[in-house]
Homo-oligomer: A and B are copies of this chain.
Amino acid sequence: MIRVLAFDVFGTVVDWRSSIIGELEQFGKSQGLQRDWGAFADSWRGGYVPAMNQVRRGELPWTRLDDLHRRILDELLREAGIQADEDDVDHLNRAWHRLAPWPDAVAGLHRLKERFTITTLSNGNVSLLTEMAKRAGLPWDCVLSAEIFGHYKPDPEAYLGCADIMDVAPDELMLVAAHPSDLRAARDAGLRTAYVDRPLEWGQPGRYRVPFEADEFDSIATDLLDLADKL
């Protein structure tokens, strides 16, 4: 019996790429700059896994995602020869707090919340997730983050910590995510898994889509409304 649904957030619940490109365009206008902001957004997101892995391997002490995002942003701005005021760069860095949900997300979460306890289980820090939810109307019952467990996904401590703090067995907890790597790690830790297809996460349909076997996950859904139908 599934009692709690834990959601990956970036890409699964919110459309980070369109939101970040929009924020970069605003930033560009305010600075009088033109750049390929789509490529800039991809590079910003692309820096996230290597930075996080430095923390996972112990090469960096625990660093919240806001601060990893800032390191990557500072480097990208430097490479692009862009100088901006600290306030403007800080505001831009917090664009990750202001991501817009996929069109089905708010309605889907409301339906899923009727039957299950719904929580985030994201590598985003708690304040980022809290501000995002407040702006976007994401009706979480609880806000859990890698920050609380001191381990980024896909470390097993994040998945098992989520089950422990929600006071359920690992197989009473289902991870909902658009990324096979996240779901595989959750499954290996004993969780149930639901894949949600987000073909537009990286812009063009299917770009960077990772293949998986039809029977790898407990549920496969086209979006969160479809997941509510299936569960």
Which residues does A use to contact B, with CB under 8 Å?
Answer: 66, 117, 119, 125-127, 130-131, 133-134, 141-144, 147-148, 165-167
State the CA gap A167–B66 with chains docked (Å): 10
Q: A147-B165, A148-B148, A167-B66 are in contact. Are A133 and B141 (CB under 8 A)?
A: yes
- Are the C-beta atoms of A142 and B141 separated by less than 8 Å? no
Most B Cβ at <10 Å: residue of A119, A141, A142, A144 = A142
- Cα A166 to Cα B131 with chains together (Å): 9
- In the assembly, how many copies of this chain are there? 2
**A121 CB to closest chain B CB, in angstroms?**
13
Q: Are A131 and B147 in contact (CB under 8 A)?
A: no
A130, B117: Cβ atoms closer than 8 Å: yes
Shortest beta-carbon distance from A214 to chain B in Å: 34
Residue of B at shortest CB range from A167?
Answer: B127
CA distance A142 to B143 in the complex (A): 6
A112 to chain B, nearest CB (A): 13
Question: Which single member of B66, B126, B142 contacts A130 (CB below 8 Å)?
Answer: B142
Which residues in B have their C-beta under 8 angstroms from that of A143? Answer: 141-143
Contacts A117-B134, A130-B141, A141-B143 aside, 12 further interface pairs with beta carbons under 8 A come to: A117-B130, A117-B131, A119-B130, A126-B166, A127-B166, A127-B167, A134-B141, A142-B143, A143-B143, A147-B165, A148-B148, A148-B165
Complex Cα distance, B147 from A119, in Å, reads 17
Complex-state Cα separation, A134 to B134, whole angstroms:
17
The complex places the Cα of A141 from the Cα of B128 at a distance, in Å, of: 12
Residue with the greatest number of chain B CB neighbours at <10 A, chosen from A126, A134, A148:
A126
The residue on B at minimum CB distance from A64 is B167
| CA distance in complex: A167, B96 (Å) | 15
Q: Please indicate the chain B residues that have their CB under 8 angstroms from the CB of A131 in the complex.
A: 117
Q: Which of A117, A143, A147 has the most CB of B within 10 A?
A: A143
CB distance from A127 to the nearest CB of B (A): 4
**B117→A166 contact, CB < 8 A:** no
Task: Report the minimum CB–CB distance from A117 to chain B (whole Å).
Answer: 6
Nearest CB of chain B from residue A159's CB, rounded to whole Å: 16
